[in-house]
Amino acid sequence: MRLNIAVLASGAGSNFAALLAACGDGRIDGRIVGLFSDKPGCGAMALAREAGIVAWAMRPDGFASRAAFDESMFDAIAAVQPDLIVCAGYLRIIGATAIARFPDRMINLHPSLLPRHPGLHTHRRVLEAGDAEHGASVHVVIPELDAGPLLAQARIMVRPDDSAESLAARVRQREHPLLVATVAAIAGGELGLAPPSWQGRPLSAPLQLGADDRLAPSPAGAPS
Tens digits of pLDDT across the chain (224 residues): 899 999 999 999 999 999 999 999 999 999 999 999 999 999 999 999 999 999 999 999 999 999 999 999 999 999 999 999 999 999 999 999 999 999 999 999 999 999 999 999 999 999 999 999 999 999 999 999 999 999 999 999 999 999 999 999 999 999 999 999 999 999 999 999 999 999 999 999 999 999 999 999 987 544 33
Question: SS3 of 32, please?
Answer: strand
Cis link prior to 195 (omega < 30° from 0)? yes
Buried b (16+ CB within 10 A) or exposed e, 93-109: ebbeebbeebebbbbbb
- What pLDDT was estimated at residue 222? 40
Q: Are 171 and 195 in contact (CB under 8 A)?
A: no
Spell out the domains of the chain, with CATH numbers in brackets. 3-221 (3.40.50.170)
Tell me whether residue 139 is one of the annotated catalytic residues: no
Residues 217 and 185: their CA atoms lie apart, in Å, by: 13
Residues 78 and 149: their CA atoms lie apart, in Å, by: 23
Catalytic residue among 110, 117, 123, 139: 110
